[in-house]
Amino acid sequence: MTVDLKEHLVIVIALDHYNPLGILRTLGENGIEPIFVGIKYRVHVASASKYIKTLHQVDSIEEAYDMVVSKYADYSKKNGIKPFLLFCDDDVMEPFDRNYEELKNYFILFNSGKNGRTTKFMEKKEIQNIAKRYDIPVLESQVVKVGEIPKDLKYPVITKAISPISGAWKGDFHICENEQQLCEVMTTIKAQEIMIQPYVDKKTEITFEGFSYNKGKGMFIGIECKYCYAIKGYYSPLHDTYVPKDKELQRKINAMLEEIGFEGLWEIEFLVDKNDNLWFLEVNFRNSPWSYASTVAGNPLPLLWFEAMLTKKCPEPIPFEPFIAMVEPIDYAKRVEEGRCSLAEWLSDFKSVKCTYYYNEQDPEPWRVVVQNWDKLK
């Protein structure tokens, strides 16, 4: 690192699940003691980490927002150093994004330069339109009011909430084989509008884990992940991790982020069909669980983003050999319980993977919580 981060407060604000666990470990393993504002969730996994200096447990996103602003906004006034805010959930980030122009006086946080601008590009149609402008392949889709059935649809189709902060989000995702099924799921959808998209029988999915800075002009990609097996309507909790290679695609991604003006950690997702065609899915404008694999690879995204935000310069990526990462409870459920492999095969994989998202010998307490609540995490 070319800058000293020890004087900066680092505040992680997130639902108390395994996504922030990776970012807390990344910070702690690099000598930074984070403050964690953990919002009540099914199982309190992240808050069990030994790396947390100060823990605030709250019941709601609203309470988390009020806690951070009331308790830590004055820190920069007193010390002349703005705390960093890190987010792992779209809906948790939204109120901070909505009030960015005020909060920027007190914090360094994910943003696109204006109040609510990042939230705007969480909407699938908005982000797809930008992707199209930079010749990134996008599946044609329609946005309709819930209950509306477009004519001339070619089935199967999928339904998606238009934004991660609208409706039931993943609960509004459905695969519909025909018009009757589409009509039936329309009665269950919580959002007011829904995106309808052709269903593609995927070969795999890939994601890029990185960050942008200097109003989106600068970009750093730590890792590329490819899912090891395809599950209809779900993601693979076992993935290959390697150095990104497609420079032209990276250039297009950078141009897209620059147009948005985004500064912060992100994940960008693509679907790969059976003919190896790449299709853009979405940008997650916040930390992803997979970012911890970038830490294991030697490129700790949060710390490198801090450095880039302070120096306006891009750190040099550290090259690494490819490895496999595993989301243990979900991978066990999908492969062993659903008959994709034997218990012996799974245990062999578990012991050999380089990156696990729950188990960690240096930070064992979250794993104990996982074992005690195994069925809730699958």
pLDDT of 22-73, one tens digit each?
A: 999 999 999 999 999 999 998 999 999 999 999 999 999 999 999 999 999 9
Burial of 274 (0-12, 13-18, 19+ CB in 10 A): exposed
Let me know if domain 202-377 sits in CATH 3.30.470.20. yes
Asked whether the beta carbons of 139 and 273 are under 8 A apart, the reply is: no
Q: What is the mean pLDDT of residues 81-88?
A: 96
- Local confidence band at 202 (pLDDT 50, 70, 90 cut-offs): very high
At residue 331, the pLDDT reads 96
- Fold annotation for 140-198: Dna Ligase; domain 1 (3.30.1490)
Asked whether the beta carbons of 300 and 294 are under 8 A apart, the reply is: yes
Asked whether the beta carbons of 209 and 267 are under 8 A apart, the reply is: yes
* Domain locations in the chain as residue ranges: 10-111, 140-198, 202-377
Asked whether the beta carbons of 260 and 219 are under 8 A apart, the reply is: no
At residue 5, the pLDDT reads 75
Q: Is the dihedral of CA 159, 162, 163, 168 positive or negative?
A: negative
CA nearest neighbour of 91 among 163, 161, 12: 163
Q: What is the mean pLDDT of residues 314-328?
A: 95
- Local confidence band at 315 (pLDDT 50, 70, 90 cut-offs): confident
Burial of 319 (0-12, 13-18, 19+ CB in 10 A): exposed
- Fold annotation for 10-111: Rossmann fold (3.40.50)
At residue 169, the pLDDT reads 62
Omega cis (within 30) before 95: no
Instruction: For 242-268, give one letter per residue: b (16+ CB within 10 A) or e.
Output: ebbeeeebbebbbbbbbebbbbbbbbb
Q: What is the pLDDT of residues 229-262, one digit of tens each?
A: 988 888 899 999 999 999 999 999 999 999 999 9
On whether the pTM is more than 0.85, the answer is yes
Burial of 354 (0-12, 13-18, 19+ CB in 10 A): middle
Q: Is the dihedral of CA 110, 115, 116, 118 positive or negative?
A: negative
CA nearest neighbour of 92 among 172, 7, 17, 5: 17
Helix and strand numbers (H, E) in the chain are 14, 15
Q: What is the pLDDT of residues 277-299, one digit of tens each?
A: 999 999 999 999 999 999 999 99
Hunting for tokens 């979900």 — which residue is that?
330
Across the chain, mean pLDDT equals 94
Asked whether the beta carbons of 99 and 73 are under 8 A apart, the reply is: no
Instruction: Mark residue 310 as left, alpha or beta (left: phi above 0; alpha: psi -120 to 50; beta: remaining).
Output: alpha
On the question of pLDDT at 168 being above 90, the answer is: no
Residues 6+ apart with CB under 8 A from 170: 161
Asked whether the beta carbons of 62 and 80 are under 8 A apart, the reply is: no
Asked whether the beta carbons of 296 and 354 are under 8 A apart, the reply is: yes
At residue 344, the pLDDT reads 97
